[in-house]
Chain A
Amino acid sequence: MSAIVTEMSWRFACKLDELPVLGARVLERSDADGGNVAVFRNSEDVVFALLDKCPHKGGPLSQGIVFGERVACPLHNWSIELKSGEAVAPDVGCTKRFPVKVDGGEVFVDLG
């Protein structure tokens, strides 16, 4: 059996409690670093992180309505899968996703 070794560079984002349930917060990054990241929390306390840019026309996904494991973009209502960043069919497109972990009530994101 060969072990797969992955380098993770976790960054502390915030406490889980600081994220609204069924909502999101914006993690600020400069445009040079790739722009803002949206950190979502759903009703099951699962946390997701996506680039804060809708694959359609760049709408800020952090401002959308969160439901199930999806977010509805605030600009033209595309649905985006929080797990994968994929737009829900029939729309096509994908936004970058970032690994997240919740550890002792604290949220960490790997910004790569």
Chain B
Amino acid sequence: MSNKQKLAVIGNGMAGIRTIEELLKIAPDKYEITVFGTEPHPNYNRILLSPVLAGEQTIKDIVLNDWDWYTDNGINLITGKTITEIHRTRRELTTGSGEKYQYDRLVIATGSNPFILPIEGKGLPGVISYRDIADTEAMIDAAKIYKNAVVIGGGLLGLEAANGLKLRGMDVTVVHVMPWLMERQLDEKAGKLLQASLEAKGIRFMMQAQTEALIAGESGRVAALRFKTGEQIPADIVVMAVGIRPNTALAEKSGLQVSPRPGGIVVNDTMQTLTDARIYSVGECVNHRGMAYGLVAPLFEMAKVCANHLAEYGIGRYVGSVTSTKLKVTGVDLFSAGNFQGAASGRPEDAGLEDIILSDPMGGVYKRLVIKDNKLVGACLYGDTVDGSWYFKLLREGKNVAEIRDQLMFGESNIGDVGHEGNTRAVTMKDTDEVCGCNGVCKGTITKAIKEKGLFTLDEVRKHTKASSSCGSCTGLVEQLLMFTAGGDYSATPKMKPMCACTDSTHQNTRDAIREQKLLSVPEVMKTLGWRTTNGCSSCRPAINYYLLSTWPKEYVDDPQSRYINERAHANIQKDGTFSVIPRMWGGETTADELRRIANAVDKYKIPTVKVTGGQRIDLLGVKKEDLPAVWKDIGMPSGHAYAKALRTVKTCVGSEWCRFGTQDSTQMGKDMERAMWKMYAPHKVKFAVSGCPRNCAEAGIKDVGVIGVDSGWELYVGGNGGIKTEVAQFFVKVKTSEEVLEYTGAFIQLYREEGWYLERTVHYLARVGLDNAKQKVVEDAANRKALWERLQFALDGEPDPWFEFEKARVDTRQFIPIKPIATDTVATV
């Protein structure tokens, strides 16, 4: 007998099994697990019942965890049995056939029940709801024999059922009581467009029609439907899809608190029921902070938190979800999220909302974006939904859209994008088209993995296909593919995204904890925040090391083993394991003497390639690791930090010293900036440029800080980026003197150092916090600006050059000396 604790799960559906999957990931051996399910199937993807009904997939395709999965993970699976009683004091479950099971902890994941209209004839044979495999099979069978189908309910489920039955050759009528379809997700215009395109597929609609009774035929099976008006239509099958109700009968019977409206077992933020801390509940049967959800994205977030608590890590919290809707009818593009109706709703609280509307009825495109206080709060798209995931992201993140407002409607591809994010559109792409340029992953490979391996999240797609795991420029596309292939939007709310799989702590939580609790080492951070792994991973450790370094300069002792190899060896690793050396050339200027020393080193160490970089300096490529210290010494120039999340190049133009248009000495300004701020580590790399006039030969418009000399002083631009997705820097401030350029630049960069998340470039940092936030703290608040600038100078004062001050920079020089193995006696071990 095992002395493990017993965990029982009631409900072998999407939320229950997802919880177990999450639990197995973090605490595989903690419980002896038993799962009970009424349905005689292993766990399957309920969402994909619609493509099954439409004949696009088979039942086999949609199984998420086959029978072997349960056996392989030692899970006791009891299918075809319903739990009818929970005896909470005895901690005992009883099945319909009388067997009893003990539990220590229990998860209730019973999902929901379809709502059945209380009308005459509701129980007749041929009246079906749409919830599970049995219902789907009943519809498929009926379609083989019968002709007339009536679907009651013009919501998501009803329309997907209607579409499927139509594709299976039936004559389908949808009966809906409201004036337009999907009124809970669409406004009137979009609803009417949807109706028109479904009518074009041959589906009939009876709108604002109230059903009075279902009438039996001679065989006793349903034969017709009668409206309140007395009108009657033939019906060989009737699908009732008028809504769902959380399935809480069992919980209520066991004395657990259940909310009367909108229903659901009441749980707290750790997914424990309010009544009994041993009992958890997840999925559609739950009521959390007054909300009951009917989509999978929230369920997955709940599952994660619940598993975390079951594993006794106890720091994850569920705080609710924002959801979006997509209709899975091939050929119909529809997306809706948030407050999609805007001021048109007529509700007093919606009065301040502003609408941006694009309507092209001939082209079948309609879009409505709803904005409040410069933030996107709702979106309703019809006909062209490629930007759905982008809008949804803006909405969930509460991004300030003031700056892009006039282009917002035209989508992400119009916001100055040179990457693929918007140019190639997921839906129209061929299977052989490349999605991820870094890893050479095609659309077909991704969609296949999503289907076959049952992937739900961006992270899972990254792990299995490598798509979007490198530079990330195709993230938007991959999210779209997820949405189209798996049928929902599964990505977790980014604000709550944990740093990595080692923890549930977000970047912001971690930063805050380090500051508030004065944490001073990587292990201390991991211990305080309940890391699940002993020493993190290659993704969280460098981030924590940076947060410590930037929060507690002079106090925190840098941990080179938590840094990526480039920052440990102070050179860039190349594909063959050699390194490159990019010395600092202040402002891009060099001398004959420096060039001579470089030339000599190239000869002496047989360095195969010398190249001028895109950042106005020289790169020596193919240096052997053993040679690095000697090369640095021979060239005698400071580290260019081309390998680090630090200040990289400061590009300059020739400026007023030589140029006939120059208004300011941009070269000197650049050199001053570089000397003031080199050796500075940051969340990501930082690049500056200074041009002597608005012709801008130093390309200051695409730098983290770009400075442009004008007759009356200097203009500062921030948040530019010339990389993966070109972003033009935004105007920040105009100043008169070069001292002010240093102060404003330093203060802005220090703010970024203190608030930025690891691997977030200035452009992404600004997109998250808003340019106004930075302007307030740097431009408008003079005292704060000075304080920021002083903190940066304090942090940089006495910082070592890692190419020369090994000890102070904590460079482990043993890494440059390979070990030679020495033979000892051959030993025989018995």
Residues of chain A having any CB pair with chain B under 8 Å: 3-14, 18, 20-23, 25-29, 36-37, 39, 42-44, 57-60, 63-68, 70, 72, 74-77, 79, 90, 108-109, 111
The residue on A at minimum CB distance from B449 is A90
- Return A14 CB to nearest CB of chain B, in Å: 5
- Return B561 CB to nearest CB of chain A, in Å: 4
- Complex interface: chain B residues within 8 A of A26 (CB): 818-819
A25 pairs with B815, CB closer than 8 A: yes
Known: A67-B533, A67-B538. A74 touches B573 (CB 8 A): yes
- Complex interface: chain A residues within 8 A of B815 (CB): 20, 23, 25
The residue on B at minimum CB distance from A25 is B819
- Complex interface: chain B residues within 8 A of A72 (CB): 537-538
The residue on A at minimum CB distance from B559 is A22
The residue on B at minimum CB distance from A63 is B565
Q: Can you list, as one digit per residue, whether each of B531-573 has a CB less than 8 Å from chain A (1) or not (0)?
A: 0011111100110000000000000000001111100110001
- Complex interface: chain A residues within 8 A of B537 (CB): 65, 67-68, 70, 72, 79
5 A-B residue pairs with Cβ-Cβ distance under 8 Å, sorted by A, are A4-B830, A10-B824, A13-B821, A26-B818, A67-B533
State which residues 809-823 of B face A: CB under 8 Å.
Answer: 812, 814-815, 818-823
B575 pairs with A8, CB closer than 8 A: no
Known: A67-B535, A74-B565, A90-B464. A6 touches B818 (CB 8 A): no
B561 pairs with A68, CB closer than 8 A: no
- Complex interface: chain B residues within 8 A of A23 (CB): 561, 812, 815
A6 pairs with B535, CB closer than 8 A: no
Identify which of A22, A39, A70 contacts B819 (C-beta below 8 A).
Answer: A39
Identify which of A10, A37, A63, A77 contacts B569 (C-beta below 8 A).
Answer: A63
The residue on A at minimum CB distance from B579 is A63
- Return B611 CB to nearest CB of chain A, in Å: 20
Q: How large is the interface on B (under 10, 10 to 19, 20 to 34, 35 or more residues)?
A: 35 or more
- Return A71 CB to nearest CB of chain B, in Å: 9
Q: Can you list, as one digit per residue, whether each of B575-592 has a CB less than 8 Å from chain A (1) or not (0)?
A: 101000000000000000
- Return B25 CB to nearest CB of chain A, in Å: 12
B534 pairs with A68, CB closer than 8 A: yes
- Complex interface: chain B residues within 8 A of A90 (CB): 463-464
CA distance A6 to B812 in the complex (A): 37
B829 proximal to A (CB < 8 A)? yes
- Complex interface: chain A residues within 8 A of B569 (CB): 63
A8 pairs with B561, CB closer than 8 A: no
Identify which of A20, A59, A74, A77 contacts B814 (C-beta below 8 A).
Answer: A20
B821 pairs with A25, CB closer than 8 A: no
B575 pairs with A57, CB closer than 8 A: yes
Identify which of B463, B561, B814, B821 contacts A27 (C-beta below 8 A).
Answer: B821
B612 proximal to A (CB < 8 A)? no
A20 pairs with B823, CB closer than 8 A: no
Q: Can you list, as one digit per residue, whether each of B794-818 has a CB less than 8 Å from chain A (1) or not (0)?
A: 0000000000000000001011001
Identify which of B463, B818, B826 contacts A9 (C-beta below 8 A).
Answer: B826
Known: A25-B815, A59-B577, A68-B534. A7 touches B821 (CB 8 A): no
Q: Can you list, as one digit per residue, whether each of B450-484 has a CB less than 8 Å from chain A (1) or not (0)?
A: 00000000000001100001100000000000000
- Complex interface: chain A residues within 8 A of B469 (CB): 77
CA distance A65 to B541 in the complex (A): 9
B827 pairs with A22, CB closer than 8 A: no
B362 proximal to A (CB < 8 A)? no
A68 pairs with B535, CB closer than 8 A: yes
Q: Can you list, as one digit per residue, whether each of B285-298 has a CB less than 8 Å from chain A (1) or not (0)?
A: 00000000000000
- Return A53 CB to nearest CB of chain B, in Å: 9
A14 pairs with B829, CB closer than 8 A: no
The residue on B at minimum CB distance from A27 is B819
B828 pairs with A74, CB closer than 8 A: no
B821 pairs with A21, CB closer than 8 A: no
Known: A20-B561, A22-B561, A57-B575. A8 touches B538 (CB 8 A): no
The residue on A at minimum CB distance from B816 is A26
B826 pairs with A109, CB closer than 8 A: no
